[in-house]
Chain A
Amino acid sequence: MNFDYTEEQIALQDTLRRFFARDYGFEHRRAMSKSADGFDRAAWATFADFGILALPFPEDFGGLNGNAVDTMLVMEMLGRGLALEPYLPGVVLCGGLLRDAGSTAQKEALLPAIAGGELMLAFAHFGAGGRYALDHVATKATPEGGGWTLDGAKAVVLAAPSADKFIVSAREGLGLSLFLVDAKAPGVSLRSYPTQDGARAADLRLDGVQVSADALIGPAGGALPLIERAVDYANAALCAEAVGIMAALNEVTLEYLKTRKQFGQPIGKFQALQHRMADMVIATEQARSMATLAAVRADSDDAAERSRCIAAAKAYVLQSARLVGQQAVQLHGGMGVTDELNVGHYFKRLTMIGLSFGDVDYHLGRFSDSLLAA
């Protein structure tokens, strides 16, 4: 039982905190959000220098052998810094899938490039009509000439416009398979758009896209457990990001309560607002506990226990995030609903986390159903 970060982890946390304070201010972020990529390529290169793009990979492939707790720490800092960069899709999800299921050749070719910041990946899995169900995949993989032809559509693929390659899930017969698809491959087309948080995503079409045999990641037809594991991992990471945002929102809200004056005194002197703030702090501490549980269990080999804990954590963290986000806006009054303060931007990112990779109902349902198995 130990709730402390190691010295190395604390050093990394400090590095990231300093970076966001010094080089990634609110106005800079705003400008980057309006750029063509919707994020900062220079920041991405800096992340490579910091080593966080190599964090979850084995040392043999240029990685730092980090665990889910390391990822939690990074995600919390990215949350605080309100980073636009596609760390979750590129490193956590796609990097994690390659680490867990990639062939040695794939890992050698791709992981060092991801770690170095030269290769960006996006995870093209969800389709329209399936909501958050992981096994609802309509995209088809048809065997052809030793490889496959992929046909279908993918919905709201995060970071797709900047991706060099996609990891695409497709159905072949009864099972799901994962394929590495080049963004420039013939038959791949994107309808790109900004997302709530100011980053980018796209709907993806695959029309007769040819992939060769070595594009297959993991066993043909046996990808569902890999996807479940990767999405669990992503959800644990999102829990940590949400906690970072909640902590940041609590700080700015507390500051506002102490400085904004009405009726001749700081509004934080009013008990109605004090108790609201106390509720936000309690929700954040409880959410932090659940995010910790999610991170520690994300590396577990016991799939049922891993999923049970992460479902509970995500459902709980999202409920806390809704409370903290909405109340942070409320306590800022009119200023809270403007584009001018970072509060609204934190709130939009939290809202987006609440709708990504399963909402409260989805995860509460998963956790609730696990009670039947017990």
Chain B
Amino acid sequence: MDLDYSVEESQFRAEVRAFLRDQLPNEIARKVHGGKRLAKDDFVRWQKILHAKGWGASSWPVAHGGTGWSPVQQHIFDEECADAGAPMQLPFGLKMVAPVIMAFGNPAQQARFLPRIVDGSDWWCQGYSEPGSGSDLASLKTRAVRDGDHYVVNGQKTWNTLGQYADWIFCLVRTSSEGRQQEGISFLLIDMKTPGITVRPIIMMDGEHEINEVWFEDVKVPVENRVGEENKGWTYAKFLLGHERTGIAGVGRSKRELKKLKAIACRESSAGRPLIEDARFRDRIAQVEMELMALEITNLRVISAEGEKKRAPGPEASILKIKGSEIQQLLTELQMQALGHYALPWLHESLDPAWSGDPAMPAYEDDAGPLSGHYFNVRKTTIYGGSNEIQKNIISQMILGL
């Protein structure tokens, strides 16, 4: 039992930190720390920088162009990236579709898709949820009908995060209505430029265009773009959701946000004293910090078990998702609350990095941010990736056998 990092791991951390200091563009880090809107180019540029270093895919094996890092190294990398203000590497390609292609795709698909994910050439989005199929995902209705060497896809997907930028979408489609609904689903990779695809924005309550609806009207998809077997897509989908949950603990990001919360509480005043001296508010910070301390260790326990047993993330990942998302929400709520009256002004335009107007709130040098927008934005975290209620179903059914 030892909670300290080894000498090698500490050296690795130093190496990551030095790399970030030298290579992470300042203007991008400033946007991240300031809670500003990131452009597509920011994400792509950072992915290309990582790729040039050979660090494009921290969770992949070397054979596919990844780093081959241990789970603990990945954790260190995530933590340092978050602290430095690196943009999150979007999970849709790297952590969602790629593990499925590695595990179930054929060599041609692996050669075609994986290199373009790691080098930042292709932007992927997710085609899972439908208007009538959210938590009950297996009831999905988007149909793919075989027509020679193509499928013809008709239907509608929703909640496609950043699908407006996507080159490719991975989709769960219904290829059979026989038997249990889980048994008629296939996993297709679809080029977003294919005729018949329409992307329509959904504006979230923070005013941002982060998610979309994607409509499919007689969209022709070559059969070679199906991953694995026809009607086995549900197995691949569950595999994917398991992978999505591990990164979702978001310990590094939450540590960064906790630091920011403390900084705000030190600078804001309450009746002439720093807010942090108000025990009632300070106790709230203490409470969320305790949650985060516990989550960090739980996360390390889970990933080090994965490292030793070389196994895919199990249902424990649900615990990380639930706690990680609750903590993220609590942190943004307290950041907003710390501003008091000045949490109320709503200057949506201030999300634009180029905006230089009067922020109508206390001026913080590098961490000024539309904090209330952030609070409204992260309400999504307990809903996406399998809502926290679904996660509790998974725990009670898969861990506890209820």
Chain A contact residues, CB within 8 Å of chain B: 1-5, 69, 254, 257-258, 266, 268-269, 271, 274-275, 277-279, 281-282, 285-290, 292-293, 295-296, 309, 312, 315-316, 364-365, 367-369, 371-372, 374
Contacts of B6 in A (CB 8 A): 1
With both chains docked as a complex, state the minimum distance between the C-beta of A193 and any C-beta of chain B, in angstroms.
34
Instruction: Tell me the bound Cα distance from A292 to B294 in angstroms.
Output: 10
Verify A371–B5 contact, CB threshold 8 A.
Answer: no
Verify A371–B262 contact, CB threshold 8 A.
Answer: yes
Verify B400–A281 contact, CB threshold 8 A.
Answer: yes
Verify A296–B396 contact, CB threshold 8 A.
Answer: no
Contacts of B363 in A (CB 8 A): none
- Of B111-119, B225-233, B300-308, the segment with at least 4 beta carbons within 8 Å of chain A is B300-308
- Of B56-64, B149-157, B169-177, B284-292, the segment with at least 4 beta carbons within 8 Å of chain A is B284-292
Question: Could you write out 22 A-B pairs with CB less than 8 Å apart?
Answer: A1-B3, A1-B6, A1-B9, A2-B2, A2-B304, A3-B300, A268-B400, A274-B402, A275-B393, A277-B402, A278-B391, A278-B400, A279-B392, A281-B319, A281-B400, A285-B316, A292-B297, A315-B290, A364-B286, A371-B285, A372-B276, A374-B262
Contacts of A1 in B (CB 8 A): 2-6, 9, 72, 300, 304
Verify B283–A368 contact, CB threshold 8 A.
Answer: yes
Verify B305–A285 contact, CB threshold 8 A.
Answer: no
Instruction: Give the dominant DSSP class at A's interface.
Output: helix
Does B40 have its Cβ within 8 Å of any Cβ on chain A? no
Verify A371–B395 contact, CB threshold 8 A.
Answer: no
Instruction: Tell me the bound Cα distance from A290 to B4 in angstroms.
Output: 15
Q: Knowing A1-B9, A285-B298 touch, does A316 contact B392 (C-beta < 8 A)? A: no
Does B148 have its Cβ within 8 Å of any Cβ on chain A? no
Instruction: Tell me the bound Cα distance from A274 to B396 in angstroms.
Output: 6
Verify B287–A364 contact, CB threshold 8 A.
Answer: yes
Instruction: Tell me the bound Cα distance from A33 to B390 in angstroms.
Output: 44
Verify B1–A4 contact, CB threshold 8 A.
Answer: yes
With both chains docked as a complex, state the minimum distance between the C-beta of A370 and any C-beta of chain B, in angstroms.
8
Chain B contact residues, CB within 8 Å of chain A: 1-6, 9, 72, 262, 276-277, 279, 282-283, 285-287, 289-291, 293-298, 300-301, 304-305, 316, 319, 322-323, 389, 391-393, 395-397, 399-402
A4, closest chain B residue (CB): B1
Inter-chain contact total with CB atoms closer than 8 Å = 126
Instruction: Tell me the bound Cα distance from A132 to B81 in angstroms.
Output: 42
Verify A258–B402 contact, CB threshold 8 A.
Answer: yes
Partner of A372 from B3, B72, B282, B399 at Cβ < 8 Å: B282
Partner of B286 from A258, A287, A290, A367 at Cβ < 8 Å: A367
B326, closest chain A residue (CB): A282
With both chains docked as a complex, state the minimum distance between the C-beta of B295 and any C-beta of chain A, in angstroms.
7
Instruction: Tell me the bound Cα distance from A254 to B285 in angstroms.
Output: 34
With both chains docked as a complex, state the minimum distance between the C-beta of A238 and any C-beta of chain B, in angstroms.
16
Verify A282–B402 contact, CB threshold 8 A.
Answer: no
Verify A3–B283 contact, CB threshold 8 A.
Answer: no
With both chains docked as a complex, state the minimum distance between the C-beta of B107 and any C-beta of chain A, in angstroms.
36
Partner of A3 from B305, B389, B397 at Cβ < 8 Å: B305
